[in-house]
Amino acid sequence: ASVPPVYVQNKFSIYSPGEQRIDTSRSLLGYLKDKGIVMMGYSVINPWPSILPPLQDPHVLAIAERRQVSPSQVLHRWALQLGAGVIPKSATMQRIEENAKLFHFSLSDSEMRLLSGIVMLSESTVSTLAPKWMPDIYNLATGVRGVG
């Protein structure tokens, strides 16, 4: 293309932070940052492709309670702190206002690592750790056959 892209819009959640299957050794967000392209994340609170909705994930709920914010605010703040733009969606004015209140708190490094590591819990199998670019913060390699 003669005009390089300025942003990429993609599903971005704790279970699917961009489409990591493009290159299993590197995150899409990292690739885009290196190229000066902004990630615009949508469906931050959408449960696809997992069974458990992110708004009900016990990790998210614990952080929300500790920070005294909603689970939705935790998830949107997580995406922002990673450097992604977010596209919050709601049918109610109250939820739209809540989703916009993201700058009065921040998540700690350990909270960010915990939330970012959830993708490994949702994508790893008994024989494969995935995605390869994510640090194994939950020590899953000890239980994965053929790894470690």
Q: pLDDT tens digits, residue range 71-130? A: 999 999 999 999 999 988 888 999 989 988 999 999 999 999 999 888 888 777 777 777
d(CA 109, CA 112): 5
Task: Kindly state the average pLDDT of the residues 11-19.
Answer: 81
- Kindly report the pTM of this predicted structure: 0.85
- Helix (H), strand (E) at residue 11: strand 7-11
**Which of 137, 134, 78 shows the shortest CA–CA distance to 107?**
78
Task: Kindly state the average pLDDT of the residues 26-31.
Answer: 83
pLDDT above 80 for 20: no
pLDDT above 70 for 35: yes
pLDDT at 24: 66
- The beta strands (E) that lie in 51-140 are given as 85-87
* CB-CB contact of 60 with 54 (8 Å): yes
